[in-house]
Structure 1
C-alpha cells in the first residue's frame, strides 16, 4: 500500500442510532454503523498523523446533531456530511446472548443516507473524494446507497484510483439489505476490480458467492486482480495474500468475550492504520487483532477511549 505523510482518508457509509439491550431489558442508546465504527477506531489509532473524514447523509433532528457532536469529539471531519431537512438516521437494536454473540434488529428503510449521492448537494462531495489518499467503503455502503448512488460511487472510485488513491473495501454482506442475491452479487462485482485492499469475512464471502473455502476466495480475488486480500476469521488466525505472498497471523486470545459487535470493524481500522503508516501486512494484522481483542471485552460498537 502506498503510504504518504499525513494521509487523508474518507470513509463512506451509514451511522445509525444504536440501542443496546441490557440483561434487565432496559436499553442504552448510542451510535454505530460498520464504516462509522471503523472511522472512529481509525481516528483513534492515527491521531494527528492523518485526517479522517466521514461521508454520509443525516437528518436535521436532535439525534443527527448528537451524532455530529460525537464524531467531532473523535476528531472525525464533518465537511462531507450532508444534513437533509425532514429526514432521519436509521436505527438498530443489539440483543446479545450469554456467549456474547449478537442479533440485530433494524429500522433503516427511510434513512437519510439512502439519498447521500443523489441530492444536488452531493455533487461537490463526489468531486472532492478522488483527491483523498484512501477511500473506504463496505458492502453495507453498497446496499444503502441504492442503484443510483452505487453508480455515482463507482465513477468516483474509478477516478480516485486513476489519481493514485487507495481503495479499501470491507465485504460486510447483509442479505436483508438486498432485494436479491443476484443484485448483491452484481453490485459487488461492479466495484471489486477497483479495490486495492479487500478486508473480507469468510462467512460473508461464502454466503454471497458460495465459495467452498478460503482457497477458493483467494483464487477468485486473484483472478479479479485485487493486490491485497485479508480474510478475517473471528477468533481464528487471519489469512493474507499480498504481492504474491501468503501470511497467517493468529488472533489474540480473550478470556471473556462480552460483545463481538464491531470486532471486524475495529480489526479493519487497526489493519488499515498500520498499513497507512508503512507497516507490513503481518504487522498490520497484529495491530488489527490487538484492537479487536480489546473491543470485544466491552458492550456496544464503540468502547470508551
Structure 2
C-alpha cells in the first residue's frame, strides 16, 4: 500500500460518498451547523494527516449548485480536499442530518437524504466522465453507505467502473458502515457487499455492522469469509476494545490508548480508517497503522461533532 518511490506527480486518493449538512443539538437547545458524512470525514482527516505535495486527496460525489453546496466545497478546499470531480446536478440539493448525543457521548441521528444529489451521482449519461476518472487514482475508498445511498443503476455502474479501475492497478479500500434504514434488508446489503469485496484490497470493518449483515458469530468466521473473497488485509474495529488485524504480516490484536472523557463518538470509525490508510500510504506496517487509527479516533471522540478543530489534531506514533 506504500506510495511508489518513483512517482513524479502526487499520488491521488479518491473517496466516494455523500457529504451532508450537519446539525448538532447544543445544550441550550440551539443548533450548530457544519458539514459531514462518513467518507467525507475520512477524506478530511486523511488530508490533514498526509495531504502534501506527494499525496492529493479528492472527494467524489454529486451536489447541487445552491449556496449550501458551494459552501461545502469551499470548506473541503480549506481542509485540503479536492473538489475537481464533483458532479453538479442543478435540480438537486445536499442531504441533511441531525446529531443527538446522550450523557455517555453515544449519538443518534435523524436524516433527510432520500432525494439528495449524491443519490444520483452515477446515474445517466452525465456520469460517464466521473466514472471514467476512477482508474486514474492510486487508491479509492468507499463505504457501505456509499453503496446504500445510490440508485440501482448508479450502484451497478459504480461497481463496473471499480472493477475496471482495479484491473488498471487502483487499490480499493472499503469501510463496511452498515445502516439498516438505507437497505431493504440485510440480505440485500450482503449481496452488494460481497460483490464489492471481491475487488477490495483493505477492508476496515466495524464488528457489530458485519454481525448484522453476515451473521458472524466469531471474528474467525469474518476473517475466513473475507479471505475467501480475496481480501488480503482486514481490520475489525471494536469501539473501545482492541482492534483485530489480519494481513500478510499475520494476525495481531492492537489495543487503544485510554481516553479519560468521551464527549461525542461521531466519526470515531471514520477517523480510525483515515489514520490507518494514511499510515499505510506512508509506508507503515498494518500494526503501526492500527496504532495511528486508535490515536486519532481517541482524540476525535473528545470533541463534539464529526470534525474536530485542526489545532486539536494529535501527533502520531513513529512508523516502524
The two structures have a TM-score, normalised by structure 1, of 0.98
SS in 2 for 1:200: strand
Partner of 1:200: 205
Unaligned runs of 5+ in 2: 311-320
Residue 313 of structure 2 corresponds to residue 274 of structure 1: no
Partner of 2:247: 242
Q: Counterparts of 2:70 and 2:141 in 1: how far apart (Å)?
A: 24
- 1:121, distance to aligned residue in structure 2 (A): 2.7
Q: Counterparts of 1:150 and 1:12 in 2: how far apart (Å)?
A: 12
- 1:225, distance to aligned residue in structure 2 (A): 1.6
- 1:45, distance to aligned residue in structure 2 (A): 0.3
1:110-156 CA deviation, whole Å, 9 max, x = no partner? Answer: 10111101133321111111121000000000001121111111111
- 1:180, distance to aligned residue in structure 2 (A): 2.1
- 1:35, distance to aligned residue in structure 2 (A): 0.3
Q: Counterparts of 1:183 and 1:65 in 2: how far apart (Å)?
A: 34
Aligned length: 305
Q: Counterparts of 1:190 and 1:13 in 2: how far apart (Å)?
A: 18
Partner of 2:19: 15
**2:297 corresponds to which of 285, 292, 298:** 292
**1:46 corresponds to which of 44, 47, 50:** 50
1:231-285 CA deviation, whole Å, 9 max, x = no partner? Answer: 0111111110001600111111100000000000000000000001110001101
Q: Counterparts of 2:37 and 2:235 in 1: how far apart (Å)?
A: 21
1:74-132 CA deviation, whole Å, 9 max, x = no partner? Answer: 11111110111121110000000000000011110010111101133321111111121
1:55-81 CA deviation, whole Å, 9 max, x = no partner? Answer: 000111111011000001111111110
Q: Which moved more, 1:203-212 or 1:20-29?
A: 20-29
Unaligned runs of 5+ in 1: none
Q: Counterparts of 2:179 and 2:288 in 1: how far apart (Å)?
A: 29
Partner of 1:110: 115
**1:180 corresponds to which of 180, 185, 189:** 185
Q: Which moved more, 1:218-227 or 1:269-278?
A: 218-227
- 1:171, distance to aligned residue in structure 2 (A): 0.2
Q: Counterparts of 1:237 and 1:8 in 2: how far apart (Å)?
A: 31
Q: Counterparts of 2:112 and 2:51 in 1: how far apart (Å)?
A: 33
Partner of 1:134: 139
Residue 33 of structure 2 corresponds to residue 57 of structure 1: no
The two structures have a TM-score, normalised by structure 2, of 0.93
Contact 1:7-1:276 at 8 Å conserved across structures:
no
Residue 92 of structure 2 corresponds to residue 87 of structure 1: yes
Q: Counterparts of 1:47 and 1:114 in 2: how far apart (Å)?
A: 28
- 1:10, distance to aligned residue in structure 2 (A): 0.4
Residue 104 of structure 2 corresponds to residue 99 of structure 1: yes
**1:33 corresponds to which of 14, 37, 58:** 37
Structure 1 runs of 4+ with >4 Å offset: none
Contact 1:132-1:165 at 8 Å conserved across structures:
yes
RMSD value, Cα: 1.0
SS in 1 for 2:198: helix
